[in-house]
């Protein structure tokens, strides 16, 4: 029977704003020291339940197909499951040689896939959810910034494949927030208006509500947006 401490170790998870828990792990691309090896880069660390499962296979094909797109946004991908290294290698070889999904085929997965038989990394990141499974990692996605800080977390149940357009959109939105000191509204994409931080004083609020305010538009003192050119966003956040 599990002790309370063991249960807490399984279900604990870091929070947004925390430093990413460090680890050293064997992967399909050699040993990784995280997050030191990725200093200065964004990282998407994601887990999946098991090798040779159909939903995971569709996700790895999609991530591998999009890897270059993420790399151009200064972002590296790292996968994890609690299967062993040889299982990983055999599965990724099968994906390349046999699996076709949505027109994508002969896809080679080049980003690291962590071996985590002991579940040590999965437990550090709260990827084991006992209510879902005590022996498989749920579909977690951690966005970790160039300083090693966790900026966003998305969790999916074992049965639900991830939305990769949303993962990429979230990455670009957070980079835009950092670069331009703005916030992004619902369903934001590059080229859409961005949101200004609420006015910190009556004077700023009155100024924003003035008629001649350049490209700033205010519905009320606390809800102000401004235009941000798509090309300016992309040239700033994407590597050339």
**Per-residue confidence in pLDDT tens, the chain, 240 aa:** 444 444 444 456 799 999 999 999 999 999 999 999 999 999 999 998 889 999 999 999 999 999 999 999 999 999 998 889 999 999 999 999 999 999 999 999 999 999 998 888 988 998 877 666 655 667 899 999 999 999 999 998 888 999 999 999 999 999 999 999 999 999 999 999 999 877 555 556 666 666 566 678 888 878 889 999 999 999 999 864
Asked whether the beta carbons of 107 and 61 are under 8 A apart, the reply is yes
- The pair phi, psi for residue 224, each rounded to 5°, is -125, 140
Q: Exposed, middle or buried: residue 146 (CB in 10 Å: 0-12, 13-18, 19+)?
A: middle
Looking at residue 45, what is its pLDDT?
A: 97
Task: Report, at the CATH architecture level, how domain 4-162 is classified.
Answer: 3-Layer(aba) Sandwich (3.40)
Give per-residue burial for 213-235: e unless 16+ CB within 10 Å, then b: eeeeebeeeeebbbebeeeebee
Q: What is the pTM of this model?
A: 0.89
First vs last C-alpha separation in the chain: 55
Active site residues: 56
Backbone angle region of 191, left / alpha / beta, with phi > 0 → left and psi within -120 to 50 → alpha: left
| Three-state DSSP state, 70 | helix
Which positions make up the binding site for substrate?
A: 139
Q: Count CA atoms closer than 13 A to 144's CA, side-chain side.
A: 28
Q: Return the structure tokens found at 199.
A: 């006015």
Eight-class DSSP state of 117: T
Q: How far is CA 89 from the centre of its chain?
A: 23
Which positions make up the binding site?
A: 139
Among 3.40.720.10, 3.40.50.10420, 3.40.309.10, 3.30.1020.10, name the CATH number for the domain at 181-237: 3.30.1020.10
Looking at residue 221, what is its pLDDT?
A: 78
Looking at residue 146, what is its pLDDT?
A: 97
Contacts 24+ apart (CB under 8 A), 208-213: none
Q: What CA–CA distances, in Å, run from 5 to 12, 121, 127, 137, 164?
A: 10, 17, 17, 19, 35
Asked whether the beta carbons of 118 and 84 are under 8 A apart, the reply is no
Which residues of the chain are in CATH 3.40.30.10 domains? 4-162
The helix (run of H) or strand (run of E) holding residue 90 is helix 85-98
Looking at residue 118, what is its pLDDT?
A: 87
Q: Which residues are within 8 A (CB) of 202 and not within 5 positions of it... i.e. 6 or more apart?
A: none
The helix (run of H) or strand (run of E) holding residue 104 is strand 104-105
Which residues of the chain are in CATH 3.30.1020.10 domains? 181-237
Sequential DSSP letters for 137-152: B-EEEEEE-TTSBEEE
Residue identified by tokens 């046999």 is 98
């Amino acid at each position: 029977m599990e002790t309370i401490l063991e249960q807490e170790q399984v279900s604990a998870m870091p929070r947004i704003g925390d430093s990413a828990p460090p680890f050293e792990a064997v992967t399909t691309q050699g040993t990784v020291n995280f997050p030191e090896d990725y200093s200065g880069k964004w990282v998407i660390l994601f887990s999946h339940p098991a090798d040779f499962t159909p939903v995971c296979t569709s996700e790895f094909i999609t991530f591998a197909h999009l890897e270059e797109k993420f790399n151009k946004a200064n972002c590296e991908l790292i996968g994890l499951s609690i299967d062993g290294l040889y299982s990983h290698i055999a599965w990724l070889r099968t994906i390349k040689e046999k699996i076709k999904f949505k027109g994508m085929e002969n896809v080679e997965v080049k980003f690291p896939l962590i071996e985590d038989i002991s579940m040590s990394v999965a437990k550090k990141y709260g990827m084991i959810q006992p209510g879902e499974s005590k022996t498989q990692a749920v579909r977690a996605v951690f966005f970790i910034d160039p300083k090693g800080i966790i900026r966003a977390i998305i969790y999916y149940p074992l049965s639900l494949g991830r939305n990769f357009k949303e993962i990429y959109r979230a990455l670009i939105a957070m980079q835009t927030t950092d670069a331009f000191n703005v916030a992004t509204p619902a369903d934001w994409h590059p080229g859409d208006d961005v949101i200004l931080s609420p006015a910190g004083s009556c004077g700023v609020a009155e100024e924003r509500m003035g008629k001649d305010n350049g490209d700033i538009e205010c519905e009320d003192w606390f809800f102000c947006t401004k235009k941000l050119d798509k090309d300016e966003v992309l040239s700033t956040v994407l590597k050339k």
